Copies of this chain bind each other. A is one copy, B any other.
């Protein structure tokens, strides 16, 4: 059902970054549901985490362990989010880290846990600890595809991408990332996990700045700026096995650009694989007073069930778009200069329906699997681009039957 999305045929190995996968039958047996990424001693890490007040146990533990600045391994499971599990959940996450650390010759606080899946159930710790034993002995630089598969929950397609960047002086670095997430009607409730690595040697502060820059136009353009699900996390690792790179280098913008591009491809893949999605929709908001205002309008439209069901039906019921724009939290909002278009078909200009708009033209755009809803507020130069999917029967089926 994913919209123009296929699993990557291959992903570039990142020197120094080794993955392993194993089956712990966390939710059900039959496929790998755990993955481990081990990084060399030279590695640095950056991460962004959910701001949900009920942040899951693994998120809390990962943040604590990150704070030591000594992290070396990421331990991921699908099938159970270990969220809403109280003190027992924290102990379970720590136990998993300890087991992995013991096998890898690390301290427990050098292992960061990540979980995604059902909320409110205890992890099957025994089965997971057995799987961790398997993980520790199967690490491989060519493990990215297998890891992309193991971290899926309702994802129908494994998500990953690679980039190579020439950062000058003939020096080439590689970037590879994987992601999971597909509950996209309200992206701020879907668990989104992303793990990106490069072989460049980058200090922690620069790496953190690069990650935050890349997030703004990628994962944060499909999700409401981090105050998202209980488990969201995006990690960026620099193994240090390759060339050194710092924010003052001439090659730095090329690196950030490639990272942003990679993150955007992963973020868009999550939307394309949105639960029950049949359309990939770009909301291009311009003419706002500032980017935040543009984002508010974009997300209000993107979150509108009435807009999303009209998109599913391919019905150019553009009044629903207009109604959503009109209820966005925008101060002193006059519609007199608002323009709305579906791809190249103008619907509204200067706040009025376009006289020459023909419904057949709107329907032709909405029959496409991908199109842009362009909204110009006519009151400034603030812009934002948001990606979203439609709302189908299949979305309801997936989420009504998720635990069965």
A residues in contact (CB < 8 Å) with B: 51-55, 81, 83-87, 118-121, 183, 185-186, 188-189, 227-230, 304-306, 309-310, 312-313, 315, 317-320, 322-330, 333-335, 348, 351-353, 391-393, 395-397, 399-404
Query: Nearest Cβ in chain B — how far from A182, in angstroms?
Result: 12
Given contacts A120-B319, A230-B319, A393-B393, 17 further A-B contacts (CB under 8 A): A54-B325, A55-B326, A81-B319, A83-B323, A84-B323, A119-B317, A119-B323, A188-B327, A227-B329, A230-B322, A230-B323, A305-B399, A306-B399, A313-B399, A315-B404, A317-B403, A393-B397
Q: Are B186 and A84 in contact (CB under 8 A)?
A: no
How many copies of this chain does the complex contain? 2
Minimum C-beta distance from A115 to chain B (A): 12
- CB-based contact A54/B322 at 8 Å: yes
7 A–B contacts, CB within 8 A, in A order: A84-B348, A87-B352, A120-B322, A189-B304, A313-B401, A315-B402, A317-B403
Q: How far does the alpha carbon of A27 sit from the alpha carbon of B52 in the complex, in Å?
A: 45
Query: How far is it, in angstroms, between the C-alpha of A84 and the C-alpha of B334 when the chains are bound?
Result: 14
Return the chain B residue nearest A87 by Cβ.
B352
Q: Is the CB of B392 within 8 A of A396?
A: yes
Q: Which residues from B are CB-within-8-Å of A183?
A: 306
- With contacts A348-B84, A396-B396 known, is A119 near B322, CB below 8 A? yes
* Of the residues B81, B83, B305, B325, contact of A186 by C-beta under 8 Å: B305
| Cα-based distance from A315 to B121 in the complex (angstroms) | 14
B53 touches A306 (CB 8 A): no
In Å, the complex CA distance between A317 and B310 comes to 28
Residue of A86, A120, A121, A397 with most chain B CB atoms under a 10 A cut-off: A120
Give CA–CA (A310, B51) in the complex, Å: 23
**Residues B335 and A53 in contact, CB atoms below 8 Å apart:** yes
In the complex, are the beta carbons of B120 and A305 less than 8 A apart?
A: no
Q: Hey, which chain B residues are within 8 Å of A188, CB to CB?
A: 327
Q: Which residues of B contact A304 (CB under 8 A)?
A: 186, 189
Residues on B with beta carbons closer than 8 Å to the beta carbon of A397: 393
Q: For the complex, give the distance between the alpha carbons of A185 and B189 in Å.
A: 16
Nearest CB of chain B from residue A48's CB, rounded to whole Å:
16
Closest residue of chain B to A276 (Cβ to Cβ) is B396
The 10 closest A-B pairs by CB, nearest first: A119-B319, A54-B326, A120-B319, A86-B352, A309-B399, A313-B400, A53-B326, A52-B326, A53-B333, A84-B319
